[in-house]
């Protein structure tokens, strides 16, 4: 199947702002969304308790930055998303809870320029699975590593595949059952169809290995349930 273009993905997210502003409804298709949100923001605070700057990649309506600000207040926030509608909502919500600088950047992480050695915390929730080729993944991980301050962290919450075909089949059956429990067979098929059309997830092992390859000094696995994981690297 031909994968969605960046424009098609942006158009879909332009129409999903209200859903993604609500943690209850926005994250139903994501297993353990609240657990991952809590773990990632707690881990970021543990790694960089004196953090001053955060980059929220694929920020959506701003849920991750809002949670981070509840743990480390008044961070300078840089919010990146394909969708201007999402960014407008995120800017509005984040600006209400911080007196620090809030900057928004519309664009694809593959194309935008990031400052070097600048961010203490980078959060990437449900965004990197839109990367396609190995070269994309390597370039983006290198870019994110370069933009972190020494000791800074990149923390990822995302859809992942498994490296072994049999295990992968098992895990996606688990996910299908989860979706049927939260909807029905039609809902499960709808979610699987848009994953097939839009997403090219990689395994957690692949991403942790890639972190080491581009220079991260250590990596951490925070959580894994079926085809969802929370993990990261420290510069």
What SS3 state is found at 114?
coil
pLDDT tens track for 215-234: 999 999 999 999 999 999 99
Q: What pLDDT score does 1 carry?
A: 57
Condensed to tens digits (0 to 9), the pLDDT of residues 184-198 reads: 888 888 888 888 887
Least confident of 31-35, 95-99, 167-171: 31-35
What torsion do the CA atoms of 211, 216, 219, 225 make, to the nearest 10 degrees? -30
How confident is the model at residue 18, as a pLDDT? 56
- Alpha carbons 64 and 126: distance in angstroms, whole number: 11
Q: What are the backbone dihedrals phi and psi of residue 148, each rounded to the nearest 5 degrees, phi first?
A: -80, 150
DSSP one-letter code for 203: B
What pLDDT, in 10s, does the model give residues 54-67? 999 999 889 999 99
Rounded CA separation 155/10 (Å): 23
Q: Are 81 and 17 in contact (CB under 8 A)?
A: no
Evaluate if residue 12 carries a pLDDT over 90. no
Check residue 24 and give its pLDDT: 47
Q: How many CB atoms lie within 10 A of CB 210?
A: 20
CB 23 within 8 A of CB 33: yes
Question: Given a cut of 90, is residue 8 above it in pLDDT?
Answer: no
pLDDT score recorded for residue 49: 96
* Tokens of residue 80, six digits: 């990146």
Q: In angstroms, rounded to a whole number, what is the distance separating the alpha carbons of residues 167 and 212?
A: 24
**Cα 134–chain centre separation:** 18
pLDDT of 3: 60
Q: Choose between 222 and 3: higher pLDDT.
A: 222
- Let me know how many helices (H) and strands (E) the chain has, helices first: 10, 7
Q: How confident is the model at residue 16 (pLDDT cuts 50, 70, 90)?
A: low
Beta strands in the chain (DSSP E): 53-57, 76-81, 102-106, 119-125, 148-159, 218-225, 228-234
101-158 pLDDT, tens per residue?
Answer: 999 999 998 999 999 999 999 999 989 998 989 999 999 999 999 999 999 999 999 9
**Structure confidence at residue 186 (pLDDT):** 87
Q: Say yes or no to pLDDT of 50 above 50.
A: yes
Percent of the chain having pLDDT more than 70? 88
Question: pLDDT: is 191 or 95 the higher one?
Answer: 95
Closest CA to 151 of 125, 120, 173, 197: 120
Query: How much is the mean pLDDT over the chain?
Result: 89
Q: What is the pLDDT of residue 30?
A: 84
- The answer to whether residues 106 and 84 touch, using CB atoms and an 8 Å cutoff, is yes
Residue 23 pLDDT exceeds 80: no
Q: What are phi and psi of 228, to 5 degrees?
A: -130, 140
């Amino acid at each position: 199947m031909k994968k969605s273009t960046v424009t098609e993905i942006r158009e879909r997210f332009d129409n999903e702002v209200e859903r993604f502003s609500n943690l209850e409804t926005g994250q139903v298709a994501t297993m353990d969304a609240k657990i991952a949100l809590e773990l990632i923001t707690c881990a970021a605070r543990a790694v960089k308790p004196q953090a001053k700057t955060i980059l929220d990649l694929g920020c959506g309506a701003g849920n991750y930055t809002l949670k981070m600000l509840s743990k480390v207040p008044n961070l300078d926030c840089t919010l990146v998303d394909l969708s201007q509608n999402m960014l407008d909502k995120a800017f509005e919500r984040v600006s209400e809870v911080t007196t620090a600088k809030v900057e928004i950047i519309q664009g694809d992480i593959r194309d935008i320029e990031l400052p070097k050695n600048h961010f203490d915390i980078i959060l990437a929730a449900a965004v990197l699975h839109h990367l396609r080729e190995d070269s994309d993944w390597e370039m983006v991980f290198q870019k994110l590593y370069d933009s972190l301050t020494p000791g800074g962290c990149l923390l990822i919450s995302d859809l992942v595949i498994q490296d072994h075909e049999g295990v992968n089949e098992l895990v996606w059956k688990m996910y299908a059952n989860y979706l049927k429990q939260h909807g029905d067979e039609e809902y499960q098929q709808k979610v699987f169809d848009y994953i097939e059309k839009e997403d090219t997830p990689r395994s957690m092992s692949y991403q942790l290995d890639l972190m080491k390859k581009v220079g991260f000094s250590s990596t951490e696995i925070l959580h894994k349930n079926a085809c969802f994981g929370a993990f990261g690297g420290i510069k």
